């Protein structure tokens, strides 16, 4: 990826908004490891993204789905290159055996794939 780490975080956040997601949590892993363990680590952030209408539908279908929410996106820098990865919501189907979740997971996956492609 040709974006800097900081620009990638901005772009991911911007593209998530276009798809109806907000970032609920932001965990700066580098900062946390430095503070808690006094160790150095690469630039690495975990963004917890949520699309409220989809989260609501999923929770109505199965209350236990909250264990898999929000959708995590990671942005990190390795060897001078920025990387972005997004959790595949279809993995939920391997954990939750509720076919009511499938169309929600498929739609969320499509939206997240558009985010990744735009970045």
What would the pLDDT profile of 57-84 be if each residue is shown by its tens digit?
Answer: 999 998 989 998 999 999 999 999 999 9
How does 58-83 read in b/e, with b if 16+ C-beta sit within 10 Å?
beebbeebeebbbbebbbbbeeeebe
Give residue 52's Cα distance to chain centre: 14
* The pLDDT of residue 100: 87
The reported pTM is 0.90
Residue 2 has a pLDDT of 84
Structural domains in the chain, sorted by start:
5-118 (3.30.310.70)
Distance, CA of 25 to CA of 39 (rounded, Å): 23
- Res 40: pLDDT: 96
């Amino acid at each position: 990826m040709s974006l800097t780490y900081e620009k990638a975080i901005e772009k991911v956040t911007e593209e998530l908004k276009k798809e109806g997601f907000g970032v609920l949590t932001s965990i700066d892993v580098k900062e946390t490891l430095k503070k808690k363990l006094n160790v150095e680590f690469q630039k690495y952030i975990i963004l917890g993204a949520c699309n409220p209408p989809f989260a609501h539908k999923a929770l109505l279908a199965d209350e236990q789905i909250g264990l898999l929410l929000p959708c995590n996106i990671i942005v990190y820098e390795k060897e001078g290159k920025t990387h972005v990865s997004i959790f595949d919501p279809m993995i939920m189907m391997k954990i939750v055996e509720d076919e009511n979740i499938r169309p929600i997971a498929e739609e969320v996956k499509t939206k997240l794939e558009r985010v990744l492609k735009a970045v």
